Amino acid sequence: MAELGLYSYQEEVVQRAIQGDNVIIWLPTGGGKTRAAVYVAKKHLQNNPGAKVAVLVNKVHLVDQHYKKEFNPHLGQDYRLVPISGECDQKDFFAYAVKDSDIVICTAQILENALANQEEGKHVELQEFTLLIFDECHHTHKEGVYNKIMNRYVEKKLKGEGQLPQILGLTASPGTGKARSIGGAVDHVLQICANLDSVIVSSKQFAHDLKKKVPRPMKRFDIVDKRPQDPFGDCLKFMMQLIHDFMAPASDITLREIGTQEYEADVVILEKKGVAQKNRLLAQCALHLRQYNDALLINDTVRMVDAFRVLEAFYSTKTSTAVDGTDFFLLGLFQENKRKLKKLAGNAQYENPKMEMLQGTLLKQFGQGDDSRGILFTKTRQSTHCLYDWVSNNANLQEAGIKAAILTGAGNGINYMTQNEQKDTIRNFRNGSLNLLISTSIAEEGLDIPECNLVVRYGLLTNEIAQQQASGRARAAGSVYSVIAPAQGPELVRERLNERLEDLTSMAISKVQEMDPQEFYKKITEVQTNALLMRRLGEQSKDKKRSRFNGAGIQLLCRSCFVPVASGSDIKLIDNVHYVNVNPDFKCYYKVGGQVYLERTFQEWEPGRVICCAACSKEWGMEINYKKSALLPNLAIKNFAMDTPEGRTTVKKWKDIAFTVEEFNFNKYCKDKFPDMYD
């Protein structure tokens, strides 16, 4: 295996896959799972004339990374490879790309779309492939796209439908699935095995070599003292109490402690209750309380000024959109206290002690004058921007030579990055132009990031999988894994729990590996059969729910001001994605904002402008220009309330509505809009 330079432990874990078994390879971050997969793919193609391999990833940027860094350099001379993501035109002719290639590297969603699409040139069958490789395969569960693909596979297997492709899964940790006992953890590992129809393998004989190749960093708990005084936070809590008093007659819900995630969950429920009860006072107070609670959480994580800026930005959009006394009270409350909050936020005497600890942690590593590299993990996109601003304006950190950048998930909006921005940031980190990434969970898994000698977990409450993957980023000699948290705080408690869950995962995997093969395959077939039955029952329930009401009997209202704006029958579905309002009278209910720009281009449509409620400026969605001739409002149902025959309700996603939506008929739309052309 010298041509691919496999280590002894890699040679060990690929053996069953080379023999044609369905296998999950369990190796830690940095253990070379992808290189092992390249070797399996090569042997598979050599041993099976006419074979076809699909390498599936769960993030767009991993398509290019796997193609350029691993598969093409080692297999490109002998085989036809094609990388396909949502950014390239080949996705529109996926079936032809598959036919003309030996190895397809793509996002799993593209394959799922092709399996579901019956149009010629776009449809493929699972049996067209002989090997499916699932990167970060622990995501094969519930409604994830990996599991949707494997649901198709398992159903065909249980029905005995022909020759199916071999499966190869790659993971650094399957986790325990929230189990706290060995029995529950074993059941979770068996569930992952059943979902992927695979055994799970790890290094046993050469575990010592693996440990030397992938050393664990030194773990350090940097404990922060409690804030002695917090007048800024106290002021926010006082304002929240005034809102509680204002809405007291309308609310019978007991809210948990202010400034916690539990409180946030409570006010989310309170807002929904206000909408359902047609009580705008309750709904709006709940929305504003959530903003104040967010500010408290930010104040506890980063600087006071960051919390103030978030509130200031929120209320800057409210000054011209007040519609009743509730709005005037809430807006007036902030305006009355704005100057005091700003003054407190600028007083260094009351600053968050976590910032001082973070500064010390960074200086301890970067102040040594060597080529240090680190990743600072934080919870939200918003906090990455706050921390970047702090690092960039901190004289001590700049003097230490810290060159920081933000790395967050791709998307649209002020706190999102484009795919190209992600690639540029990672490239600059790799070549040394940057030496500190301030990142959300996106940098925990999959990304080709050079070895770091410092990983900081800052204000994070995550599971054991995320903790293991973040820790695995600190692979340089003498590296440090720092957890910055208050004594007895929830972050510290969770970190300790994750350590125990990591051990529990290893124990569960060992027990599954020790099972009698006949017993193992009997068990996963039983799990697969039960899952198929439950899935069919769930689909029947969803179909029944979706046809519960007729669209004409549903009225849509702005979720903010409760103005009725549309009938459910006005909504049509385009390409199983876009829910648009085709009623021309709808235009009088909304106003347009700025142009929406997307990094990707689409074959059938292009984005237009943001649309907002004409009465209160609540954002509803955006216009889309369909086939360059139909400008239609594309709506997000989370921004609306629905009056149904059984009362008022809200949902987050269109899939959860209780009425049937018809497909958009483009020809009928054109005839209705331009009748003279069809006479």
Measured CA to CA, the distance from residue 152 to residue 532 in angstroms comes to 10
Q: For the CA atoms of the chain, what is the radius of gyration?
A: 27
Q: CA 308 → CA 348, 401, 406, distances in Å?
A: 14, 29, 21
Q: What are phi and psi of 344, to 5 degrees?
A: -65, -40
Q: CA 330 → CA 141, 242, 246, 307, distances in Å?
A: 43, 10, 10, 18
- Which tokens in the block code for residue 480? 């440090």
To which H or E segment does residue 605 belong? strand 605-613
- pLDDT digit string (tens) for 354-363? 999 999 999 9
To which H or E segment does residue 221 belong? strand 218-224
Question: Strand 480-486 and strand 555-558: pairing?
Answer: unpaired
- pLDDT digit string (tens) for 289-348? 999 999 999 999 999 999 999 999 999 988 888 899 999 999 999 999 999 999 999 999
Which of these ranges, 78-92, 194-208, 461-475, 512-526, has the smallest mean pLDDT? Answer: 461-475
Question: Strand 605-613 and strand 590-595: pairing?
Answer: antiparallel
The CB density around residue 556, as the number of other CB atoms within 10 Å, is 23
Quote the pLDDT of residue 412.
Answer: 61
Q: CA 403 → CA 397, 609, 660, distances in Å?
A: 9, 36, 53
C-alpha 124, offset from chain centre:
27
- Which tokens in the block code for residue 103? 């190895």
Q: Which residue has 């809009």 as its token pair?
A: 673
Measured CA to CA, the distance from residue 482 to residue 480 in angstroms comes to 6
Render the burial of 224-243: b for 16+ CB within 10 Å, e for the rest. beeeeebebbeebeebbeeb
To which H or E segment does residue 107 belong? strand 103-107
The CB density around residue 404, as the number of other CB atoms within 10 Å, is 22
Q: Where are the beta strands (DSSP E) in 162-206?
A: 166-171, 199-201
- pLDDT digit string (tens) for 24-34? 999 998 899 99
Mean pLDDT of the chain: 92
CB-CB contact of 106 with 54 (8 Å): yes
Is residue 1 pLDDT above 50, yes or no? no
CB-CB contact of 423 with 61 (8 Å): yes
CB-CB contact of 373 with 429 (8 Å): yes
The mean pLDDT of 543-566, rounded to a whole number, is 94
CB-CB contact of 561 with 323 (8 Å): yes
CB-CB contact of 311 with 240 (8 Å): no
- Which tokens in the block code for residue 492? 């510290």
CB-CB contact of 106 with 63 (8 Å): yes
Amino acid at the residue 68: K
Measured CA to CA, the distance from residue 260 to residue 421 in angstroms comes to 33
Q: Which of 650, 654, 519 is nearest to 579 (CA)?
A: 654
Q: First CA to last CA across the chain, in angstroms?
A: 72
Quote the pLDDT of residue 41.
Answer: 98
Q: Give the angle subtended at the CA of 587 by the CAs of 583 and 588, to the nearest 5°.
A: 120
Q: What is the largest CA-CA distance in the chain?
A: 81
Quote the pLDDT of residue 317.
Answer: 85
The mean pLDDT of 250-275, rounded to a whole number, is 90
Q: CA 455 → CA 201, 422, 470, 473, distances in Å?
A: 28, 19, 7, 7
Quote the pLDDT of residue 644.
Answer: 96
Virtual torsion, Cα 504, 509, 510, 512, nearest 10 deg: 130
pLDDT band, residue 589 (cuts 50/70/90): very high
Question: Strand 619-626 and strand 605-613: pairing?
Answer: antiparallel
Q: Which residue has 């930005």 as its token pair?
A: 313
Which of these ranges, 181-190, 501-510, 665-674, has the smallest mean pLDDT? Answer: 665-674
Measured CA to CA, the distance from residue 240 to residue 258 in angstroms comes to 9
Measured CA to CA, the distance from residue 564 to residue 387 in angstroms comes to 42
Under DSSP, is residue 14 helix (H, G, I), strand (E, B) or coil?
Answer: helix
CB-CB contact of 492 with 232 (8 Å): no
Cβ contacts of residue 259 below 8 Å, gap of 6+? 233, 237, 293, 296, 297, 300
Quote the pLDDT of residue 60.
Answer: 85
**Can you give the pTM of this predicted structure?**
0.90
Is residue 658 pLDDT above 90, yes or no? yes
Q: 24 forms bridges with which residues in the sheet?
A: 169, 200
Q: What are phi and psi of 629, to 5 degrees?
A: -140, -20
The CB density around residue 210, as the number of other CB atoms within 10 Å, is 22
- For 301, counting Cβ atoms within 10 Å of its Cβ (0-12 exposed, 13-18 middle, 19+ buried), the class is buried
| Percent of the chain topping pLDDT 70 | 96
